[in-house]
Structure 1
Amino acid sequence: MRSFRRTLSFLRPYRARVITAVILTLLVTLLQIIPPRLFQYAIDDGIRQALSASTQIETLQKESKENPTAVAKNQGEISHLQEVRDNRAPKMVMYAAIALFGVILLRNILSFANSYTLTWIGHRFVFDLRFETWKHLQRLSLAYHNQTQTGKIMARVTGDIELIQGLIQGQLVTFLSDLVTLVAVIAMLFVLEWRIAGMIVALIPFYVISYLSFLKHIREVSQEQRRLWDEMLGKLAEKIAGIGVVKAFVKEDYETANFMGSVRAKFNVDMRQVHLNRRLGLMSGVISALGTGIVYAYGGSLVQHGHLTAGALVALTFYIGYVFNPAVRVVDFNNSLQWALAAMDRVFQTLDTRPEIEDKPGALALPQVQGNVKFENVTFSYVEGKNAIDDVNLEVKQGEIVALVGHSGAGKSTLMNLLMRFYDPTAGSVMVDGHDLRELRLESLRKKVSMVAQENVLFSVSLLENVKYGNPQANDQQAIDACKAADLHNFIMELPDGYETMIGEDGIKLSGGQKQRLALARALITDPAILILDDVTSALDGETEARVQEALSRVMRGRTTFIIAHRLSSVVDADRIYVIEDGKIVDVGTHGELVDREGIYRDIYREQFKSALESKSAS
């Protein structure tokens, strides 16, 4: 229940609205109890009196005709009865009708106000909790996002919070209303006729038991429905994403049949759900009808013997409808509460996850960055006992261009992740201009260190907004200058909408080289002192690589630059090349020096330039 209390704490700023909603809920519920009593009043004190008066008048008039001596005696009584029939009884019915209209009108007004208040509370609660969760997710370290499935994170921010909203805005309020309704209606039943009330109360357990007996099967089918739905959507997304492979292997008919199998399975489960719901409805209807039959049979007998009025019997009939369904919802509320509590636990588990990388108290803002970088005895491991980086020492002066070369998984990108402070070293220190990164504010560091990755994420907004993403305060001219430096400006100006051109699903599609140059412009707009290029040309063809390399050669001037590369053609001009293997620096030198001596670098060089070397030998 700790999670439930924490959830309610999000409602504390809106306690006045919550109290208002509770009061309105109670008033709406209690007003629902009044109409049957008004029906009773109209029937017993209005309609029945008028009918009785009419009958008595006919009897007295007949008596007066048969016995003229009784005319004088009966005249006064007849006048009184006519007053009851023609004036008093109709007024009572009219008063009951006016009261009924007033009660229904007031209930609808209060219900509208209550619905609006509850909806506001529910949506505001979702806004606050979702915002708090999203803000916290932004603060969590890269390690958390790498280790947690994106789908699970999405489920926390969307589905789980909406499940909690359903409890706060709907089920909790319904539970309170049903509880008050049950207490008030059962009390009213006992006031009207305790014997009938006892019979109705005795039927409630049978109604609830029949509901619970079906509920287990209905829940199992609902879970199966959800599983099949997820499976169907998963297949759909997977096959649409891989439509090229499907067509290449002429598998259209196979995939159609496979998908139809999923649809057919979902249809069969849906029909099982419908069948169970109808059977439950039938059983509930039988028990409810039994209760109504008892009221009419026994109640009618009581009316005939004068132990119960007709109006009271009508009121009892109405109250029966207020007993069975609320009783089931009250019993079932615990299940809804458990689902919501599980969702609360998952959301607060996320909120309670502490960032592994965050500013320490009193962290310094990085002053003007020169670009001197030093790795001093750095060791790092993702998994305890297995070092990804092992005692690395590396120093780069301002404006130098260094390259990191090695086989996949050697630790090159991990080193740069440490420089970006996505992770902290297990041992040793990473320094910029003599400052240990752990002593610096993250924001001030990352504003001066920019990374361009092999696969860059671009957002479905305009080209200008994508470029400015790295520095929202930049003006349009700064964005244009960054695009010119990245050799992208001329391409953009050829587009009909220029820099306002939308990209992504609703806009243009960019080639690999254009994406890389756009990512480069996004990095340059921050005017970084340190630039990290993580294998940016490995997926490009030769011509596109040449254009990107040309752009890179311009922007690297005067900046400390780290180049991670598998293609050695992109690192031949580096001031220094570090060869990394199994998390260690195993060699260092210029391109010429490394090619001239035995080692991993020369092996990679010979493999990549094998054709050119064989042609040279042959000639």
Structure 2
Amino acid sequence: MKKGNKMSKENRHLNRFYYTVDHAVEKPFNWQQMWRLLVYLKPYSKTYLPGSIIAMLISTAVRLIVPILIGKVAIDTVIANEDMTMLTYLVIGIGLLYLLSYVGNIFRIKWVNILGQNVIYDLRQHLFSHIQRLSHRFFDSRSGGSIIVRIMNDTNSLQELFTNGIINLLMDIVMLTGMVAILFALSPKLALAILVILPIMFYISTKLRRNIRRSWQNVRIQQSRLNSHLNESIQGIRITQSFSQEKENEEYFDGVNTDNFTSWRMATKKSAMFRPFVEMSNAIGTIILISYGAYLILLGEANGGISTGTFVSFAFYIGMFWEPISRLGQMYNQLLMAMSASERIFEFLDQKPNVEDKPDGADLTDMQGHIEFGRVQFAYDEERIALHEISLEMKAGETVALVGHTGSGKSTIANLISRFYDPTEGAVKIDGHDLRDVKLDRLRQQISVVLQDTFIFSGTILENIRFGRPNATDEEVIEASKVVGADEFIQRLANGYETEVEERGNILSAGERQLLSFARALLADPRILILDEATASIDTETEMKIQTALKRLLNGRTAIIIAHRLSTIRESDNIFVLENGKILESGNHDELMQQRGEYFELVKSQFEMLDAI
């Protein structure tokens, strides 16, 4: 009852934090998807896979042979004839067979584990590489936590399938097929009587299949939501503590955690129904063997019955028979878990980038940086149009400013230039080339973006600046830092450029992180530079220091500046004033001031704010 109450509270707060696109994937269970998974075994089809199969066949063959040797040879022949010499040879032979099985199992376990780990490595690498290439629209609708779950948890769910599941499945199928063939060869009557329970068991297991599969899908969904909330809570811990919302956050987490707990409990409960059913089938089979088998012994071989040795062999096989059946039941549950995980993995792998790269696209090796927007319209979704038939021109080497209120379309224009999105209508061109006909890598290698909330990676200062051009020398990194004014504070750090910064650069101030982003952009030596509120986190004194550096940074490049500060944009060659996705005015600072239009009002309001201070 306690958990139920907290879950209700969680539901009331659900929309406050996030919405996840994860949902139950209702697809029929099909082997086509399983074959798609098995493709990842192909690179190892000539090494670990055949070795594992051979080792498995050896150990399985031994297990199939031994009951015949004990029943038909030892009891019906050796004991009946009291042949001690043959008994000695038989014991030694069985011992050697078990030794061979032991060696086969050692290599089988070793090779399947190596095989499984390699397959999981390849799958996770493929998934990560694919996600790296997806467009911004993909990330707009998904939380970081849900993506991490796909890459980590869902691929881990396939680990047991590849390390043991597939080989064990083959082993159990071979074992069952071999035992059924041997049982019918020994006594068709007794075999038929015992195996009559199998159709019933498979019928019931089929009925359970969809329910169990859906339960494991729900487990993956709840894990995704739990990880999403964890990721969000950790990233936003400063905001949480600033507003004293720790208790609220704990209650919300308890609700999400309860959903995760409940989903696991329900899935394991339904999966656990399989094993007792197999054991019940085993009991029924044993009862049939004892009752009908005893009758056939009393009937005698001459009258269509069986020998004592045949009965003993049957007893061995029946004892062995339900073990692979039970494992197949567990394997079936494992398969359901794997299918739930693989559906979620392939859902990502089947995602196509909204921004498609043309293999034969223009290379733009000598980009000049002349940008044109031709009646460009863009919408993030059907209900929100961000740009309304924008037409503008930015000449090569020109510094252009985009100004306007929040949501006017400034950052959208910058995103279209970097081709993070494609226009809904119209065309964006650079040097006369439609960006949809240009190679993405070559385009973005010649564009640098400096954002207001710059991202600093874990690693050294040197590595973070070099991120824009990995082959840059240490001297080039230091020179870029000096140009933008970052060298001064870097030298004050304990280890200078070798200082390890924490996740997201938390040991640095906002202004210092921004200076690093300027150095990173300069080192990349782009033809087009986009500054999206890049000086918003820098204090006035620091901004004065980098004004000269900005002139060096912008010199000879096409620069797009998105900023509110007049000092940042007044020297621009051209200024576009936007409102609700439309261009209201354009011109340089003096021209726009003379028009006394929207730009004039923006400048006026900024000075009034300064006077009020």
TM-score (norm 2): 0.79
Counterparts of 2:247 and 2:43, CA distance in 1? 58
Indicate how the Cα distance of structure 1 residues 232 and 334 shifts in structure 2: closer, same or farther if over 3 A, else same: closer
Counterparts of 1:544 and 1:340, CA distance in 2? 55
Aligned to 2:600: 602
Using the TM superposition, give the Cα deviation of residue 525 of structure 1 relative to its aligned residue in structure 2, in angstroms. 0.8
Aligned to 1:538: 536
Counterparts of 1:590 and 1:232, CA distance in 2? 51
Percent identity over the alignment? 34
Q: How is 1:237-248 mapped onto 2 (pairs within 5 angstroms)?
A: 237-244=231-238, 246-248=240-242
Specify the code of the residue in structure 2 equivalent to 1:510: L
Using the TM superposition, give the Cα deviation of residue 154 of structure 1 relative to its aligned residue in structure 2, in angstroms. 4.3
Aligned to 2:184: 190
Counterparts of 2:272 and 2:386, CA distance in 1? 61
Aligned to 2:104: 110
Return the match for 1:16 from 25, 34, 46.
46
Counterparts of 2:227 and 2:124, CA distance in 1? 25
Return the match for 2:59 from 16, 28, 53.
28
Aligned to 1:392: 391
Indicate how the Cα distance of structure 1 residues 368 and 187 shifts in structure 2: closer, same or farther if over 3 A, else same: closer
Which deviates the most, 101-110 or 543-552? 543-552
CA contact (8 A) 2:136 2:421 kept: yes
Counterparts of 2:589 and 2:333, CA distance in 1? 68
Indicate how the Cα distance of structure 1 residues 98 and 341 shifts in structure 2: closer, same or farther if over 3 A, else same: same
Aligned to 2:463: 465
Indicate how the Cα distance of structure 1 residues 262 and 353 shifts in structure 2: closer, same or farther if over 3 A, else same: closer
Aligned to 1:381: 378
Note the alpha carbon deviations across 1:590-617, whole angstroms, 9 max, x for none: 33443344222122223222244468xx
Aligned to 2:9: none
CA contact (8 A) 1:380 1:425 kept: yes
Counterparts of 2:421 and 2:69, CA distance in 1? 72
Return the match for 2:363 from 365, 372, 380.
365
Counterparts of 2:290 and 2:93, CA distance in 1? 26
Note the alpha carbon deviations across 1:432-490, whole angstroms, 9 max, x for none: 45555455443333333211112222221222111111111111111111111222212
Instruction: Report the secondary structure of 1:197's partner residue.
Output: helix
Using the TM superposition, give the Cα deviation of residue 233 of structure 1 relative to its aligned residue in structure 2, in angstroms. 4.6
CA contact (8 A) 1:389 1:415 kept: no
Instruction: Report the secondary structure of 1:323's partner residue.
Output: helix
Indicate how the Cα distance of structure 1 residues 387 and 242 shifts in structure 2: closer, same or farther if over 3 A, else same: closer
Return the match for 2:71 from 14, 20, 40.
40
Specify the code of the residue in structure 2 equivalent to 1:44: I
Which deviates the most, 564-573 or 509-518? 564-573
CA contact (8 A) 1:405 1:579 kept: yes
CA contact (8 A) 2:216 2:336 kept: no
Return the match for 1:200 from 190, 194, 203.
194
Return the match for 1:588 from 565, 581, 586.
586
Equivalent pairs, count? 576
Specify the code of the residue in structure 2 equivalent to 1:578: F
Q: Which runs of 5+ in 2 are unaligned?
A: 1-30
Specify the code of the residue in structure 1 equivalent to 2:181: A
Indicate how the Cα distance of structure 1 residues 172 and 43 shifts in structure 2: closer, same or farther if over 3 A, else same: same
Bigger radius of gyration: 1
Counterparts of 1:268 and 1:286, CA distance in 2? 28
Note the alpha carbon deviations across 1:17-58, whole angstroms, 9 max, x for none: 445544444343232212222332574168735xx8xxxxxx
Counterparts of 1:96 and 1:361, CA distance in 2? 68
CA contact (8 A) 1:45 1:92 kept: no
CA contact (8 A) 1:44 1:311 kept: yes
Note the alpha carbon deviations across 1:77-125, whole angstroms, 9 max, x for none: xxxxxxx5xxx41x33332332222222222322333344434444444
CA contact (8 A) 1:377 1:391 kept: yes
Instruction: Report the secondary structure of 1:609's partner residue.
Output: helix
CA contact (8 A) 2:454 2:514 kept: yes
Indicate how the Cα distance of structure 1 residues 560 and 443 shifts in structure 2: closer, same or farther if over 3 A, else same: same
Q: Which runs of 5+ in 1 are unaligned?
A: 53-83
In angstroms, what is the RMSD of aligned CA positions? 4.0
Counterparts of 1:260 and 1:428, CA distance in 2? 49
Using the TM superposition, give the Cα deviation of residue 374 of structure 1 relative to its aligned residue in structure 2, in angstroms. 3.4
Aligned to 1:181: 175
Counterparts of 2:394 and 2:513, CA distance in 1? 31
Specify the code of the residue in structure 2 equivalent to 1:529: R
Which deviates the most, 185-194 or 117-126? 117-126
Counterparts of 1:254 and 1:354, CA distance in 2? 39
Aligned to 1:71: none
Aligned to 1:568: 566
Instruction: Report the secondary structure of 2:364's partner residue.
Output: coil
Which deviates the most, 156-165 or 443-452? 156-165
